[in-house]
Structure 1
Amino acid sequence: MVKLAAKCILAGDPAVGKTALAQIFRSDGAHFQKSYTLTTGMDLVVKTVPVPDTGDSVELFIFDSAGKELFSEMLDKLWESPNVLCLVYDVTNEESFNNCSKWLEKARSQAPGISLPGVLVGNKTDLAGRRAVDSAEARAWALGQGLECFETSVKEMENFEAPFHCLAKQFHQLYREKVEVFRALA
């Protein structure tokens, strides 16, 4: 049984639900923050995720970062050397989806020379009548960027675990590939 540790950057525009997603994941669905509080700087959420069919687990250190440009200089230091990325947008806000490109570029610049596994998460699917971002468009963009794509409603506690389980599995796969490389060298 192996326990790995991965630094996960949670990125996206303000008010897309990054903090709510991290908090509800940490509490296994027991805690939904009803009032919005702007994240200033960074919050850290830690949770261990079992990797199916392996007996192994990945401890995700989820760095929930401020979405405001005002705090972007501070992010450079805090975002150094990420292992996985969780990009979040609001399905009712097309600009938040369009800005995922800049968040992805910023995150990848912190991990030069390595492939940064990640997921794209469309949040607030409970607001279906106000949807502005088509699921197929988001999925196509994510695939083009090498990201897995998920949709969730943190408020309704729907599908909030899947992105993090996917990240743990992706990170574990990278670990397995490195182990195989070292075995081949021996």
Structure 2
Amino acid sequence: MAQALGAPCPGGAPGQPRVFKLVLLGSNSVGKSSLALRYVKNDFKSILPTVGCAFFTKELGSGAASMRLEIWDTAGQEKYHSICHLYFRGADAALLVYDITKKDSFRKAQQWLQDLEREAPPGDVVVMLVGNKTDIEEQREVTFQEGKEFAESKQLLFMEASAKLSYQVTEVFGAIARELLQREERKKGQPRTGDGGLALGGAPARQARCCAR
């Protein structure tokens, strides 16, 4: 993990992976960095609060079928809120993360969505709502149905996950990757017949299946 100061380099050159910018948004301590670290390095550990923004990359597939996710993990503390808006620019996708054991983090995820929509018109960015920390289900304050209904009302993808237990983390990022590729093909007017050999992770479990965009 490295602190990120600049913008990601553009991709798309022949033989190079297609590059997509993914921003992680949410309040402090919801587990944004833990989700990114689990996905990129399959690791979980106590992480200090992100200062400004941290940067991860993950390459999927190989050759002409490859893609690279450039993951921008924004700080959740209120004092960095205005700075984080800079990282919305040029984003292809966003994960709105909340802690299922903290109702306030769910409300703040909705505020982050409003901030994102001010920077980019709805539909321009692939957005997934993620309820993290299912490993402490006994402390749950936000039901699965609440998250699902809000996501459906805003036409967002939706899943629950646990970075600690590595539950559905690969599926979260894989669903985003698939949606990005499908959107790119729709723009070209070419129907997709598959993922071109990309290893994007298995399908979500039935209970936590993504809401359709």
Q: Which residue of 2 aligns with 1:10?
A: 24
Q: Which residue of 1 aligns with 2:154?
A: 145
Contact 2:92 2:124 in 1 (8 A): no
Kindly provide the CA deviation profile for residues 7-32 of structure 1, in whole angstroms up to 9, marking residues without a partner as x: 111000100000000011001x2x10
Determine which structure has greater relative contact order: mean sequence separation of CA pairs < 8 Å that are 6+ residues apart, divided by chain length.
1
Q: Which residue of 2 aligns with 1:184?
A: none
Q: Which residue of 2 aligns with 1:39?
A: 50
Kindly provide the CA deviation profile for residues 22-80 of structure 1, in whole angstroms up to 9, marking residues without a partner as x: 011001x2x101x24111100011002349xxx73331111000011101121122221
Correspondence list, 1:92-171, <5 A = 92-112=101-121, 114-171=123-180
Confirm or deny that 1:91 pairs with 2:100. yes
TM-score, with length taken from structure 2: 0.77
Gaps spanning 5+ residues in structure 1: where?
182-186
Q: Which residue of 2 aligns with 1:74?
A: 83
Say how many residue pairs are matched.
175
TM-score, with length taken from structure 1: 0.87
Tell me the distance in 2 between the aligned counterparts of 1:180 and 1:125.
39
Contact 1:26 1:47 in 2 (8 A): yes
Moved segments of 4+, more than 3 Å: none
Tell me the distance in 2 between the aligned counterparts of 1:92 and 1:113.
28
Gaps spanning 5+ residues in structure 2: where?
1-14, 191-213
Q: CA RMSD in A?
A: 1.9
Report the 3-state secondary structure (helix = DSSP H, G, I; strand = E; otherwise coil) of the residue aligned with 1:121: strand
Q: Percent identity?
A: 29
